[in-house]
Amino acid sequence: MNYNNLLIQKSNNRAVITINRPEKLNALNKPTIEELHNALTVLKEDKEARVIIITGAGQKAFVAGADISEFASFGVEEGKQLAAQGQKLLFDYIENYPKPVIAAINGYALGGGLELAMACHVRIASNNARLGLPEVTLGLIPGYGGTQRLAQLVGKGKALEMILTAGMIQAEEALQWGLVNKLTSQEELMDEATALADAMSKNSSTALAAAIRAVNAGYTYQRSGLDTEIEEFGRCFGTADFKEGTTAFLEKRKPKFS
């Protein structure tokens, strides 16, 4: 299968998916989300690909967010559908994927990029990584599971601090708070990710899938939280602040909220 926005490499019982939009800092748009879903669906049936690594092309960004120009004109129902479809196709799909998925965070992981990393089962970051959920600067909230998974990983207080300030944290702080599992240099990032993948791939594939299901079962309460997130995310699209936030972003200026 050919992909316009992805590179797929397979070797030694692992597959590396590289989001290949470096000119856009690997921002997630609808075609990229669909391609990721399709690639993961194919790899699910590939017995030789026992562990998946997801990373971004270039040295600046893992994924620097969503493609805001795609949804700047959306209304409430379109916003809800955007969140619901994205969660179904990619973010929930990865979280419940039967094979281990490792995020190799090689730079900025912002908005949908951080949500993608949090949906993965394990995260390794390079020491130049910067992580954050800046959606409130657009008059939005995270819509791809960020309000739920961030709180699960770092606790309610830190999650609310990050979301409400829209601030980025450095890789060292992300490690301290448990947002990432391990920190390494950018040069050694993929080596560390592949070493972790190799350690996992030596184990029983059925046991790996069972372990993922078992751990996830402890967080099944998040379903109502994700439904609430979809509702609130969609409602943001009906506000003046959303219009001002996205317009300011596209015009490359700071927003002036009422």
Q: Which residues are catalytic?
A: 115, 135
CB burial readout 205-226, b (16+ within 10 A) else e: beebeeebeeeeeeeeebeebb
Both tokens of residue 34?
């669909």
Task: Count Cα atoms within 13 angstroms, Cβ side, for 45.
Answer: 4
Both tokens of residue 213?
């299901």
Both tokens of residue 139?
């008059």
CA angle 167, 101, 96 (to 5 degrees): 95
- Tens digits of residue pLDDT in 51-75: 999 999 999 999 999 999 999 999 9
- Tens digits of residue pLDDT in 25-45: 999 999 999 999 999 999 999
pLDDT at 248: 95
Contact between 77 and 157 under an 8 Å Cβ cutoff? The reply is no
**Residue indicated by tokens 């470096």:** 22
Which of 15, 4, 7 lies closest to 201 in space, CA to CA? Answer: 15
Q: Is the pLDDT of residue 138 over 90?
A: yes
Spatial distance between the Cα atoms of 107 and 169, rounded to a whole number of angstroms = 12
φ, ψ at 16 (rounded to 5°): -110, 120
- Tens digits of residue pLDDT in 77-111: 999 999 999 999 999 999 999 999 999 999 999 99
- Helical packing angle, 146-154 and 112-119, nearest 10°: 60
Q: For the chain, what are the domain ranges?
A: 6-188
Which of 51, 55, 53, 49 lies closest to 22 in space, CA to CA? Answer: 55
Q: What's the mean pLDDT in 158-174?
A: 98
The CATH architecture annotation of domain 6-188 reads Alpha-Beta Complex (3.90)
pLDDT at 225: 84
Pick the more confident residue, 127 or 226: 127
Using CA atoms in the order 246, 247, 253, 256, what is the torsion angle rounded to 10 degrees?
A: -80
Q: What's the mean pLDDT in 144-150?
A: 96
Q: How many CB atoms lie within 10 A of CB 193?
A: 26
Q: What's the mean pLDDT in 240-247?
A: 95
φ, ψ at 181 (rounded to 5°): -85, -30
Q: Note the helical H segments in the chain.
A: 30-44, 76-86, 92-95, 112-119, 146-154, 156-165, 171-176, 189-201, 205-217, 222-236, 240-250
Spatial distance between the Cα atoms of 11 and 20, rounded to a whole number of angstroms = 19
Q: Which helix (H) or strand (E) holds 184?
A: strand 182-184
Q: Which helix (H) or strand (E) holds 8?
A: strand 6-11
